[in-house]
Structure 1
Amino acid sequence: MTEVVVSKQIKVEAVNAWNKLASFRGIEEISPIEKSITEGEGAGATRTCYLPDGAAIHEVLNKVDNNTMEMEYKITEGPFPVEGYVSTIKVEGVDKSSCKVTWGCEFETLSENEQAMSELFGGFYNVIIDNLESALQN
């Protein structure tokens, strides 16, 4: 099992960051995803994300906990050479105007794909967290 974790402090109120991420909607507003379609709400919701090349990533929201500001989703089908991808997101308040966002995943892949997939997902999480900060500060 390979694990990737990105944790960053951003100048956004924790509740605002959490509300944006926990909705499981509009990921294209803060990520390299070109468009997404979300069906349902809360645990069990599904999201299909489309990359600029048209490739689709199918995801299911496993759990959302508004009290601890933690959520978990999995990729059920996608263009990446990975199996068992499960991602966790946690938002923690640091002070009144900033929070720490931790976004990580675990997956299985062939050893020759491990570094490339770790870099891809880690890069993706860094971009999303940075863009989340920019989008919510405006």
Structure 2
Amino acid sequence: MASTSVSRTVPASPDRVWSLIGGFATLPDRLPSILESTPLEGGRVRRLKNPDGEVITERLVDFTEAERHYSYAILQAPFPVSGYVSTLRVHPVPGRDDAAEIQWSGRFHPDNATEDEVAGLYRDGLDALHKTLTA
């Protein structure tokens, strides 16, 4: 099993960041590569569509509001990975009320994908979030 983790400090309080990313079906609000997110099964599953019309289905497997993190597993996707589980966390930055650290990590079996390719997706996602927060 492979794993990767990417983190980034953003210019917003942890509460503001969590209010933007803490909703499991809110990816289109911050990620341009996801055009649509449909919550299913009471919000525990999300069906996503990208600009190519491809469908990604993910299941929420852990959620902790107080600790500002959630984990999800990919059920169906056009990605070259299997057994994919990812976690998104928001941490306070010590001594700063106006900044938060976001950590996005994942474990997966690579099926023609590398850890660096998956990390690149995470970096792109955190870059998009940074742009959203500074717009």
Q: TM above 0.5, one fold?
A: yes
Cα–Cα, structure 1 residues 30 and 119, in superposed 2: closer, same or farther, change >3 Å?
A: farther
Give SS of 1:114's match.
Answer: coil
Structure 1: tracts of 5 or more residues without a match: none
**Percentage of pairs with the same residue:** 27
Query: Who is 1:27 aligned against?
Result: 27
Q: 1:12 touches 1:133 (CA, 8 Å); kept in 2?
A: no
Find the counterpart in structure 2 of residue 136 from structure 1. Answer: 133
AA matched with 1:136: L
TM-score, normalised on structure 1? 0.86
Q: What root-mean-square deviation, in Å, do the aligned CA atoms of Structure 1 and Structure 2 show?
A: 1.5
Superposed CA offset, 1:8-50 (max 9, x none): 1111110111122121122123221122212324xxx111111
Structure 2 counterparts to residues 110-129 of structure 1, below 5 A? 110=111, 113-115=112-114, 118-129=115-126
Query: How many aligned residue pairs are there?
Result: 131
Matching of residues 1-138 of structure 1 within 5 Å: 1-31=1-31, 32-39=33-40, 40-41=42-43, 45-94=44-93, 95-110=96-111, 113-115=112-114, 118-138=115-135
What is the alpha-carbon distance in structure 1 between the residues aligned to residue 116 and residue 62 of structure 2?
25
1: distance between equivalents of 2:16 and 2:117? 26
Q: Tell me which stretches of 4 or more aligned residues in structure 1 moved more than 2 Å.
A: 118-121
Alpha-carbon distance between aligned partners in 1 of 2:20 and 2:90, rounded to the nearest angstrom: 11
Separation (CA, whole Å) in 2 of partners of 1:67 and 1:127: 26
What are the Cα deviations for residues 67-106 of structure 1, in whole angstroms up to 9, with x where unaligned? 1112100101111122110001111011200010000110
Task: In structure 1, give the amino acid aligned to 2:131.
Answer: S
TM-score normalised according to structure 2 size: 0.88
Does the residue aligned with 1:97 lie in a helix, a strand or coil? strand
Asked if structure 2 preserves the Cα contact closer than 8 Å seen for 1:2 and 1:114, the reply is: no
